[in-house]
Amino acid sequence: MIKNLTNVKGIKCWGAHTGIKSMRRDLAIIYSEVPASAAAVFTQNQVVAEPIKLSRKHIKDGKAQAIVINAGNANACTGEQGREGAEAMAKAMAEELDIDKKMVLVASTGLIGKEFPTDEIVGGIRENVKKLSSKSNAGSFVANAILTTDTFAKEGFVEFEVDGYEINMAGIAKGSGMIHPNMATMLGFIVTDVAIEPKLLQKTVKKAVDKSFNMITVDGDTSTNDMVGVLANGKAGNDMLKSEKDPGFDNFSENLEEMMIHLAKLIVSDGEGSSKFVEYEAVNAKTEKRARQLIREISDSSLVKAAMFGRDPNWGRIICAAGNAGIPFDYTKVDLYLGSDAELIQVLGKGKPLEYDRNYMKRLLRESHLNVKLDLCEGKASAKGWGSDLTTDYVMFNSVYTT
């Protein structure tokens, strides 16, 4: 049996069908038996959905005990009616669970600008809170209930030790299946039974998001509803982690980062209309920030993405895209490698084009998992990022009528 959210101590969940989406589960509830340290990272988009506004308020004290997510309606650009809807979701959860409504985080995903179906969702919450369960199938239900056009559920589970205590950590995510317009929301939720102070958790979550969810790209756009939330309820019994120097903190931090990278990569590999998964790596940069900016710019470039689709070892586009990142770097020092997961071939040495077997390269680029490695030869920092290619299918999917 697959381990999931329900294998984290003190966590119960449920995923139900309320009717907002015609055929699939569309309401997810996650509950911790005890108040948990909570941290979250929200969309940087200036247009922010109502549930994001509410969750930002509720998480300020670094505590939460429940998360409710509806799929099918984004509750964005919905005005006062939407604001009341998000509030009603938190209130219904709080009443049914007998907790303060500030302990409830709310998230939504789906169509933008449609009236929010508050009554159906509140009814669904009241009906389904009583079904909260720690059985494995409940974990599968909740992973599926947050999906929109995703073609598979995205889950992860890991066990590790902190200072001699066994820690469980589980995560779910949804990504940007792009067939249906306005549904590019990225959501990620991770629960763990480690004991950690809210401030340290928030700092650790922010760092991990920067290395994972913030390093993937399908469209280059962030949505109105993006959110990554983490609950850590302390049921594992370890001494509360308060500082980065505490024993076991590094292990927690690494596992959180790996979990987020795992979920982020699953999101990229489910990008509708994409045919390839591309891992980008920048090594030997002066700073990690520089490496990340270069990777983001390269993986976001339409020209680079189209070249990946066409199996075209077009190093000129990659260097040109890197040049658009707005950070000075010396391309006459740069080495560049292209290839697949299995093998990389150097195409640039100190900024100069190298000879290589073009037919062999073409065969390599037929793989569905491609790799691009940029060696800046200027320092010791590195970063990775993940992206899709730009395909004719992508354009077809994204040009269909909303009407």
Q: What are phi and psi of 345, to 5 degrees?
A: -115, 130
The full DSSP string for 171-195 is EEEE----SSTT----EEEEEE---
Judged by CB under 8 A, the residue of 42, 315, 337, 386 near its own copies is 315
Strand partners for 157 = 170
Judged by beta carbon, residue 245 or residue 326, the one nearer its own copies is 326
With binding defined as CB under 8 A, does residue 381 bind its own copies? Answer: no
Place of tokens 């219904």: 92
Please say if 204 is a catalytic residue.
Answer: no
Rounded to whole angstroms, what are the CA distances from 359 to 239, 312, 329?
58, 11, 31
* Closer residue to its own copies, CB minimum distance, 208 or 321: 321
With binding defined as CB under 8 A, does residue 64 bind its own copies?
no
Q: Where are the alpha helices (DSSP H) in 301-357?
A: 302-309, 315-323
Phi, psi of 355 (to 5 degrees): -80, 140
- Quick note: the x/- pattern for its own copies over 85-124, rule CB under 8 A, is --------------------------xxx-----------
Using CB under 8 A, pick the residue from 85, 139, 313, 385 that binds its own copies: 313
| Among the listed residues 219, 258, 288, 367, the single contact to its own copies using CB under 8 A | 219
Nearest Cα neighbor of 76 from 189, 177, 183, 203 is 183
Q: Which of 164, 247, 310, 349 binds its own copies (CB under 8 A)?
A: 310
Residue with Cβ nearer its own copies (210 or 219): 219
204 CB-contact burial (10 Å; exposed 0-12 / middle 13-18 / buried 19+)? buried
For 372, the enclosing helix (H) or strand (E) is strand 369-375
Q: How far is the CB of 6 from its own copies (least distance, A)?
A: 34
Taking CB under 8 A as the criterion, the residue among 24, 91, 102, 311 binding its own copies is 311
**395 makes contact with its own copies (CB under 8 A):** yes
Nearest CB to its own copies, comparing residues 140 and 224:
224
Q: Which residues 330-359 are close enough to bind its own copies by CB under 8 A?
A: 331-332, 351-353, 358
Shortest distance, CB of residue 254 to its own copies, whole angstroms? Answer: 31
Q: Indicate whether 222 belongs to the interface with its own copies (CB under 8 A).
A: yes
- For its own copies, give the closer residue by CB, 109 or 301: 301
Q: How far apart are CA 170 and CA 396, in angstroms?
A: 35
d(CA 318, CA 197): 42
Please report how the helices 315-323 and 302-309 are oriented relative to each other, as an axis angle in degrees rounded to 10: 160
Strands (E) across 43-131 are located at 63-73, 104-111
Catalytic residue of the set 185, 204, 217, 224: 185
* Residue 4: both structure tokens together: 């999931």
Q: Does 321 bind its own copies (CB under 8 A)?
A: yes
> What residues line the site for its own copies (CB under 8 A)?
44-48, 77, 79, 111-113, 178, 181-182, 184, 219-224, 301-303, 306-307, 309-317, 319-329, 331-332, 351-353, 358, 361-362, 390-392, 394-396, 398-403
Q: Which residues are catalytic?
A: 185
